[in-house]
Amino acid sequence: MTQPTSSLGAAGALPDDIRGFLAAPRFTTIATLDPDGSPHQAVVWYALDGDTLLVNSRVERHWPSNLERDSRVSFAIYDSEEPYHFVGLKGRAQRLHEDEAATSDIMALARRYGRDPERYQGQARVTYRILVDAVFDYRS
């Protein structure tokens, strides 16, 4: 089994191979912390934005309330074509958009993932920018 690697370039820049991996529309598991410190996970869509990720949710879901209280977050992005490969990220979330701007964000994500963007009209949404602190590239 190959040891995981962890590296960010200068000023938190994602390595080119990781950026290429994240550019594909993959599903990711987001992990946040509940008030009692236990982990909470959900499968979400994401978009790569420079060296950050954007994630979006309905406001009333569990994981956004966790991020509002504690911004620490981690992700596991699975490679469906190479089942023994995934990329892990650790970072901090910053609220980026809500209301109409967040609805525009989820509509863009829906197009990225091949879904009908119109189904998200009228929902109360929130978008977070994930500032990446650590990257782990696991292969075996």
Domain range for 64 is 5-139
Cα 7 from Cα 25, distance rounded (Å): 22
Split into its structural domains, the chain has a count of: 1
CA 111 – CA 114 distance, rounded (Å): 5
Condensed to tens digits (0 to 9), the pLDDT of residues 18-62 reads 999 999 999 999 999 999 999 999 999 999 999 999 999 999 999
pLDDT reported for residue 8: 63
CATH number, domain with residue 90 = 2.30.110.10
d(CA 70, CA 60): 16
pLDDT tens for 52-107 read 999 999 999 999 999 999 999 999 999 999 989 999 999 999 999 999 999 999 99
**Residue 3: pLDDT band by 50, 70, 90 thresholds?**
very low
pLDDT band at residue 5, thresholds of 50, 70 and 90? low
